[in-house]
Structure formats: structure tokens, C-alpha cells
Amino acid sequence: MENKRGLFIVIEGVDGSGKTTQANLLAEYLRSKGRTIHHTAEPTATGLGGMVRDGLGGEHPRTREELAAMFAADRVQHNVSPKNGIIKYLSEGTDVVCDRYYYSSLAYQGVDGAIEWVANMNLGCPVITKPDICIFLDMDPEKCHEHIRAGRTHFEIYEENAAMIAETRRRYGIVFEMLKDRENIAIIDSTGTIEEVFEQIKTEIDKLL
């Protein structure tokens, strides 16, 4: 008998909002329900993903357009890889929890009139899979920057100060307004404790189980 398709869940948020922590908790929660989980992230650990991370880290500066195209290429590979691609896992009945996806590209690189181009490159690609839900962790930019400063000594190009994080948060709002009638997006207030935030996430995920 053919496996039922797995759930595809994306965790989004500005830098420092707690995405990785909540994605880990979600993966464990789904496993506790007897579900098989593949936990992944973008940019990926492939050669393409490494090039993206070098650009984000400032080692090899890239234009927004270069980064957007590189992210899209990495995302295509992330979906279609016959070994560990999103499409493969979903078709086998495995749930995929992904830390960042095309929403990040639209928010971070879709600026200065480029949002339609970035959207078309991602939403118009037949092999870039649409998630069942995107959970966005919303947090005050000053608090996010505090978390970043406490956790590392080297900042990526979009993390340098709270004003940059606030601008990215504003752009996410534009992205979600654009997609509100096409996608299942849940905006979660992540200013509470880790446990309080995760309870809100569980409420949204339980609707899909």
C-alpha cells in the first residue's frame, strides 16, 4: 500500500527569534506521536549551501540578486535530491521540518522592487514544494539582537544591528500579506518562555495531524 504523504512544516523568523530551538522541539513532538521525521534547514549542507553561507557571512560578498539565485538553486536541489530531498521524504510518508525556506528569500532578498522576481523564481518553480504550514516566530528586534550577541561573536550580513532585524521583520509582514490567500501561515508570538511558545506551535500543528 502506498505511504500517505508526510507533512511539510517550515519554521521561519528573523535571526535570534528561536527558530532552531523550536524546530528541534517540534521534531521531537512529532516523533512522540509515532511519526517519522526528517529535520533539515536552509541553506543546506551541500556545496551550493556552503556558497550561500559564505555570502551571508561576508567572506565572499554577493549582491542580493546573486544570493536570491543561489538560494533558489540550493532550494531546488534540496527538493529534488534522490538521496535526501524533501520530495523523496514526503513521498515516503516522512514529515519534513525545515528551518527557513522561500519566505526568507522573499523577505531578505526581495527588496528594492525585486520581490516579484524572487517570488516568481520560487513560487513558480514546479519542483519547489509548497509547505503545509509556515510557522513564523515573531519577536521584538531588540530582543532578537540580544540573543544573537549572546550566542556568537561573528554576525551575518543581516544581523549586524536591531534596526536591520526590524527592517527584515517589516518585510516578512509584506511577504505574508502577499501570500495570505495562498498559503497556510501562522504567526506566533515568541516573546514568552520556550515552553509557552511551543504550546502555541503545537496548537497549530495538531490541526494538521
**pLDDT greater than 50 at residue 1:** no
Closest Cα partner for 52 from 18, 76, 21? 76
Q: Which CATH architecture has domain 8-206?
A: 3-Layer(aba) Sandwich (3.40)
pLDDT in tens, 74-128: 999 999 999 999 999 999 999 999 999 999 999 988 877 689 999 999 999 999 9
C-beta of residue 53 within 8 angstroms of C-beta of residue 183:
no
- Sign of torsion, CA 8 14 20 25? negative
pLDDT in tens, 140-168: 877 765 756 654 444 444 445 567 788 88
Question: With b meaning 16 or more CB within 10 Å and e meaning fewer, what string describes 146-160?
Answer: eebeeeeeebeebbe
**Does residue 31 or residue 109 have the better pLDDT?**
31
Share of the chain above pLDDT 70, in %: 88
Share of the chain above pLDDT 90, in %: 64
Peptide bond into 61 cis (omega under 30): no
How close are the terminal C-alpha atoms of the chain, in Å? 20
What are the boundaries of each domain within the chain? 8-206
Give this prediction's pTM.
0.89
The least confident of 88-97, 112-121, 169-178, 182-191 is 112-121
